[in-house]
């Protein structure tokens, strides 16, 4: 994955994006409650499309990935869970490395 570890991606999504940028702590969530299986667009988080787009843009910037114009369905699939967003980063990083 181009010298990026999956745990680094997951930790970045949780710590920097969900708790730093989207400030989930204000909603009563705790970092240790979230992992790769945590759903993003359904309960418990129920993020809207603007929030999920911010997540995608955030990982693209952090991991220097090419910007994607994701259709609404692709955005929902990419951001189903923290793990699917990490999968997206892995796919894009491997394409970039090729």
Lowest mean pLDDT among 13-17, 24-28, 39-43, 72-76: 72-76
Residue 2 has pLDDT above 90, yes or no: no
For each of the domains in the chain, give its residue range(s) and CATH number, in order of start: 6-97 (1.10.1200.10)
Residue 58 near residue 21 (C-beta atoms within 8 A): yes
Tell me, what DSSP letter sits at residue 47? -
Using CA atoms, how far apart are residues 28 and 73, in angstroms rounded to an integer?
29
pLDDT in tens, 42-95: 999 999 989 999 999 999 999 999 888 788 888 888 999 999 999 999 988 888
pTM, rounded to two decimals: 0.91
């Amino acid at each position: 994955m181009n010298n990026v570890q999956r745990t680094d991606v997951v930790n970045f999504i949780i710590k920097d994006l969900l708790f730093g940028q989207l400030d989930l702590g204000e909603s009563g969530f705790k970092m240790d409650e979230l992992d790769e299986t945590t759903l993003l667009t359904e309960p418990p988080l129920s993020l809207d499309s603007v929030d999920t787009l911010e997540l995608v843009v955030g990982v693209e910037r952090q991991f220097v990935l090419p910007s994607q114009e994701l259709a609404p369905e692709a955005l929902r699939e990419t951001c189903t869970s923290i793990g699917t967003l990490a999968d997206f980063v892995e796919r894009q990083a491997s394409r970039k490395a090729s």
